[in-house]
Structure 1
Amino acid sequence: MSRPESAVVFRELGGPEVLSVEDASPRPVADNDVRIDVAAFALNRADLMFIHGEHYTIPAFPSRIGSEAVGTVTEIGKNITAFNIGDRVTSIPFYTTTDGVQGTTAVLPGDYLTLAPPELSDAEACSVWMQYLTSYFAFAEVANLGSDDTVLVTAAASSAGLGAIEVARALGARVIATTRTEKKRSLLLEAGASEVALVGVDDVGEVIDRTTDGKGVRVAFDPIGGESLGTYVHHLAPNAVIFGYGTLSDQQPVIPMAAMCRTQSVFHPYSMFNHVGRADERQRGVDFILERIGSGALRPRVDRVFAFDQVLDAYRYMESNEQSGKIVVQIG
């Protein structure tokens, strides 16, 4: 008989105030599923979008939340051959309308699990996949980034931004990063950025021209939306790709059509969830990242760890945008 569990649940749209930790009845393990006792889970901005009703996945109430966790396998479906009871595993982000991993236990599809890298702590192990796969699919699978390219990463001190810097460097490209605060400049340089532009102080276009000898950036990785593209659109390389993967400004992206026509550039509305469901792309991404974690080339950055009874505080901290790296909740 399945034991009772606690889970993070919401029943209406809104901010962190709609979340609560409640007793929940574990759902049965289907043939292709795995149940884990959760040791830690990571928060993502997609979770905030989900509870606000701004994610393209629409919740069905009452809904659990979250897609990144690390834990120990306690039950497996009859079609599962890759994992055994007692394995330490970590989840690759996925989305359903009612399920989620933020709780004491979770049931996940086996296709979206990997063995947790032994060199990583629990907090690090649940922070791998969104941090790195988000940019991997954009850079490697779509843009075919290489050593001749320069990438612009805006709002680069986020976990996805830091991951983008590291993935771009692993593919041989140079990176120009932007941030709002001087205190994050050294962090971005340490992560591998060649140059850092301070928003509101530095001229982003001038930094791009200086860093690329006037050639421009071929890829931009931009979660800001609003007028962000206009700050660098005149400094794009021919056939550039702008990956718009968020709206931190709370405004939809403004697309300067004429300026983009001059360089035949493309604005690509982007989500890693449009790629992670493709088994071949997912496996290439997993192999790419695990190989580099094993060699020490990649190491997920954790900003802060909260206790399970502080989960609402963790979400409020995420809304503050003060973090530099992953926000994690530890169980027990």
Structure 2
Amino acid sequence: MSRSESAVVFREIGGPEVLAVEAASPRKVSENDVRINVAAFALNRADLMFIHGEHYTIPVFPSRIGSEAVGTVTEIGENVTTFNIGDRVTSIPFFTTTDGVQGTTAVLPADYLTHAPSELSDAEACSVWMQYLTSYFAFAEVANLGPKDTVLVTAAASSAGLGAIEIARALGAKVVATTRSETKRSLLLEAGANEVALVGTDDLGEVINRTTDGKGVRVAFDPVGGESLGTYVDHLAPNAVIFGYGTLSDLQPVIPMAAMCRTQSVFHPYSMFNHVGRADERQRGVDFILERISSGALRPRVDRVFAFDQVLDAYRYMESNEQSGKIVVEVA
């Protein structure tokens, strides 16, 4: 099998065991597409949800997977004017039912590509957009977060959680972060959290009250689901927004209706994919993040890099929830 024609594919719903690296037939480049030779790609929890059949995008078998990669342009569609052969580019997350970037080559829409920041390595460059756009759309486009606000970020040691801390601080807000690991407390403080509450040890309500002078958090960024909201619902500011963007607990969120009514708070089922398709929001997010990468204010955190023939091990590692930052697979 030629490495230049290999892709990560699955043909049935399941865990990492359903994934395989297979020979891939090169897809035709349409008029608005770009083909790249992939140097590295990043894994996301949305990919796990996709293969488990839990994502709102339903796979069409056989299905490729993945939406974040960095590589070199090798072919461009006739309508593409923003990229040239040889450009180093990185992909903005997108989702289709058949295409994916996890392989040695990929074809993707030019609208979901940017020139890769020269300041970043390949592993960092493919780790930018999900890590930062996920919280950018929630905080800047939906919640209009600002300096008077405090954000709660639960399960904050994930790549999305670390990105959320950085984006919230970039918008001027304070951050309370949670983690189950004492060893990750210093990591979250380093990322910019004002306070860190250790789940099962610290009193989260007391930490929120101390950080907000009793005013409560106006935004919560919560991928846990289950009973998570109930642990802080009495410490929400008026008109708070809770972004539920995952179910790490394997349970759907339980919504305490009466407590939510007291503060007129809103639970917002959230996915960045509901925003990234809007060209104006996408461009504002890209500009916001690239400006701060260029200044050094943002730098994606990569937890671990795997070789291409270790891709199943990379997915098993993501399922372990042991990572603190992005999991990347290098192709070359």
Superposed pair shares fold, TM > 0.5: yes
Secondary structure at the aligned position of 1:119 is classed as coil
1:205, 1:293 → 2: CA distance?
34
Deviation at 1:222, TM superposition (A): 0.1
- The one-letter code sitting in structure 2 at the alignment partner of 1:106 is A
- The one-letter code sitting in structure 2 at the alignment partner of 1:309 is D
Deviation at 1:86, TM superposition (A): 0.2
**In 2 relative to 1, CA 42–3 (structure 1 residues): closer, same or farther, beyond 3 Å?**
closer
Deviations 1:264-292 (A, max 9, x none): 00000000000000000000000000000
The answer for the alignment partner of 2:271 in structure 1 is 271
1:77, 1:84 → 2: CA distance?
10
1:141, 1:5 → 2: CA distance?
39
The answer for the alignment partner of 1:303 in structure 2 is 303
2:168 equivalent to 1:168: yes
The answer for the alignment partner of 1:235 in structure 2 is 235
Secondary structure at the aligned position of 2:240 is classed as strand
2:16 equivalent to 1:30: no
Aligned length: 331
1:159, 1:208 → 2: CA distance?
23
1:3, 1:320 → 2: CA distance?
28
2:180, 2:55 → 1: CA distance?
25
The answer for the alignment partner of 1:322 in structure 2 is 322
1:4, 1:138 → 2: CA distance?
37
Deviation at 1:32, TM superposition (A): 0.2
2:250 equivalent to 1:250: yes
1:186, 1:117 → 2: CA distance?
28
Secondary structure at the aligned position of 1:102 is classed as coil
Decide whether the 8 Å contact of 1:219 with 1:242 is kept in 2: yes
Within 5 Å, give how 1:118-267 maps onto structure 2.
Answer: 118-267=118-267
- The one-letter code sitting in structure 2 at the alignment partner of 1:299 is R
Identity in percent:
90
Within 5 Å, give how 1:17-166 maps onto structure 2.
Answer: 17-166=17-166
Which 4+ stretches in 1 moved above 2 angstroms? none
Q: Larger deviation: 102-111 or 3-12?
A: 3-12
Decide whether the 8 Å contact of 1:3 with 1:26 is kept in 2: no
Decide whether the 8 Å contact of 1:225 with 1:248 is kept in 2: yes
Deviation at 1:4, TM superposition (A): 5.3
TM-score by length of 2: 0.99
- The one-letter code sitting in structure 1 at the alignment partner of 2:193 is A
- The one-letter code sitting in structure 2 at the alignment partner of 1:306 is F
2:54, 2:99 → 1: CA distance?
17
2:327, 2:245 → 1: CA distance?
19
- The one-letter code sitting in structure 2 at the alignment partner of 1:56 is Y
Decide whether the 8 Å contact of 1:4 with 1:25 is kept in 2: no
2:213, 2:293 → 1: CA distance?
33
1:8, 1:312 → 2: CA distance?
9
Decide whether the 8 Å contact of 1:4 with 1:26 is kept in 2: no
Unpaired stretches in structure 1, ≥5 consecutive residues:
none
Q: CA RMSD in A?
A: 0.9
Unpaired stretches in structure 2, ≥5 consecutive residues:
none
Deviations 1:164-210 (A, max 9, x none): 00000000000000000100000000000000000000011110011
Secondary structure at the aligned position of 1:103 is classed as coil
1:120, 1:241 → 2: CA distance?
33
TM-score by length of 1: 0.99
**In 2 relative to 1, CA 174–4 (structure 1 residues): closer, same or farther, beyond 3 Å?**
closer
Deviation at 1:211, TM superposition (A): 0.8
Decide whether the 8 Å contact of 1:308 with 1:330 is kept in 2: yes
1:142, 1:24 → 2: CA distance?
39
